[in-house]
């Protein structure tokens, strides 16, 4: 089932506009959820409701599609008639508004942030929601060209690219690395067969993995879009086979 075809042919109740490269990226990250018994999607930034309709038609009846926006467009009422859609009025940077959603839907599989496009708000939302959504969830942020627009208020609160959400995501690509810690590398090279390995790994002497090293599986950069895949990461092992001379 092509997401792009659904968008172009089957979204008839709401209105939307999306950049063409998004569809293949979305499909790559979200296709796996089609096989699940149930999928819960939170979209931040709903506008004319076309994307809520897209997600409902893509994921089907075994899905809940939640929308969050600062206002409710009249077309959203029409889209809600499809069923399985729940709309909240609120601000993505207000954690109390996010809590109302989390209280009702504690098991969110997918977050799509297409809301304010303001970097510091994208960051507040990401930092707050990412640890609270499912352990194996996908978090996507759209329209990240705004991270590069000096004249756009989506840039940052300080008007500086250094503080953009795009740069924050780049910094997490470094945060999530474990073997940059050479102590860990040496430890695994010398202690691989030791039965105490796991216990020692969590010993402070070796250094505990940080949150991102334990929970962030991958970060994928696309044209104007970033997709974060969440997964509990087990202990890292250097898996040797055969003999090396
Ligand atoms: C680009 S539109 C969303 C388009 C929609 N996702 C689609 O693909 O058709 C952005 C929406 O974000 C909403 N928005 C702006 N600031 C927001 C905020 N702080 N919190 C939540 N939504 C916000 C706007 O009201 C607008 O409806």
CB 67 within 8 A of CB 34: no
Give me the helix-helix angle, 119-129 and 165-175, nearest 10°. Answer: 40
Here the tokens at position 129 are 């929601």
The pLDDT of residue 196 is 61
The pLDDT of residue 202 is 58
The pLDDT of residue 162 is 74
Instruction: Give residues (CB < 6 A) around ligand 1.
Output: 16, 18, 43-47, 50-51, 68-71, 91-93, 114-116, 121
Task: Tell me the CA end-to-end span of the chain in Å, nearest whole number.
Answer: 50
The pLDDT of residue 178 is 85
* CATH, residue 38: 3.40.50.150
243 domain residue, yes or no = no
201 domain residue, yes or no = no
Please tell me which residue in 29, 73, 117, 188 is annotated as part of the active site: 117
192 domain residue, yes or no = no
> Measured between alpha carbons, how far is residue 1 from residues 7, 50, 60 in Å?
11, 18, 11
Number of domains composing the chain: 1
Which residue out of 17, 22, 44, 45 has the highest number of ligand 1 atoms within 8 Å of its CB and is therefore the one to mutate? 45
The pLDDT of residue 236 is 72
Cβ-in-10-Å burial (0-12, 13-18, 19+) of 196 comes to exposed
163 domain residue, yes or no = yes
> Measured between alpha carbons, how far is residue 173 from residues 93, 103, 168, 221 in Å?
23, 30, 9, 10
Task: Find all residues with CB under 8 Å of 233, minimum gap 6, and list them.
Answer: 209, 213, 214, 215, 216, 217
Task: Give catalytic status of residue 117 as yes or no.
Answer: yes
The residue whose C-alpha atom lies closest to atom 24 belonging to ligand 1 is 45
The residue whose C-alpha atom lies closest to atom 15 belonging to ligand 1 is 116
Q: Is 103 left (phi over 0), alpha (psi -120 to 50) or beta?
A: alpha
CB 43 within 8 A of CB 70: no
pLDDT profile of the chain (245 residues), mean per 10: 93 94 96 96 97 97 97 96 98 98 98 94 96 98 88 55 88 91 64 57 68 96 98 78 64
Could you give the CA distance from residue 213 to residue 232 in angstroms, rounded to a whole number? 9
236 domain residue, yes or no = no
Q: How far is the CA of 160 from the centre of ligand 1 (A)?
A: 22
The residue whose C-alpha atom lies closest to atom 17 belonging to ligand 1 is 116
Strand 216-222's sheet: what is its strand order?
Answer: 85-89, 63-69, 39-44, 110-113, 138-141, 225-230, 216-222
52 domain residue, yes or no = yes
Please give the residue range of the domain that contains residue 113.
3-178+213-230
3-state helix, strand, coil in the chain (%, to 5): 40, 15, 45
23 domain residue, yes or no = yes
The pLDDT of residue 191 is 52
88 domain residue, yes or no = yes
């Amino acid at each position: 089932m092509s997401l792009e075809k659904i968008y172009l042919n089957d979204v008839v109740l709401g209105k939307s506009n999306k950049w063409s490269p998004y569809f293949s990226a979305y499909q790559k990250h979200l296709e796996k959820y089609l096989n699940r018994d149930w999928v819960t999607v939170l979209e931040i930034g709903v506008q004319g409701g076309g994307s809520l309709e897209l997600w409902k038609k893509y994921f089907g009846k075994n899905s809940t599609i939640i929308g969050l926006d600062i206002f409710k467009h009249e077309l959203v009422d029409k889209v809600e008639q499809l069923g399985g859609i729940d709309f909240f009025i609120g601000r993505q940077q207000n954690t109390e508004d996010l809590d109302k959603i989390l209280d009702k839907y504690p098991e969110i599989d997918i977050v799509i942030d297409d809301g304010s496009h303001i970097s510091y708000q994208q960051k507040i939302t990401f930092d707050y929601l990412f640890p609270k959504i499912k352990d194996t969830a996908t978090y996507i942020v759209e329209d990240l060209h705004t991270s590069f627009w000096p004249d756009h208020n989506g840039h940052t609160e300080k008007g500086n690219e250094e503080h953009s959400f795009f740069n924050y995501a780049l910094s997490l690509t470094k945060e999530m690395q474990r073997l940059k810690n050479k102590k860990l590398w040496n430890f695994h090279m010398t202690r691989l067969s030791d039965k105490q390995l796991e216990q020692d790994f969590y010993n402070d002497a070796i250094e505990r993995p940080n949150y991102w090293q334990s929970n962030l599986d991958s970060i994928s950069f696309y044209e104007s879009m970033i997709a974060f895949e969440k997964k509990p990461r087990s202990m890292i092992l250097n898996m040797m086979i055969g003999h090396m001379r």
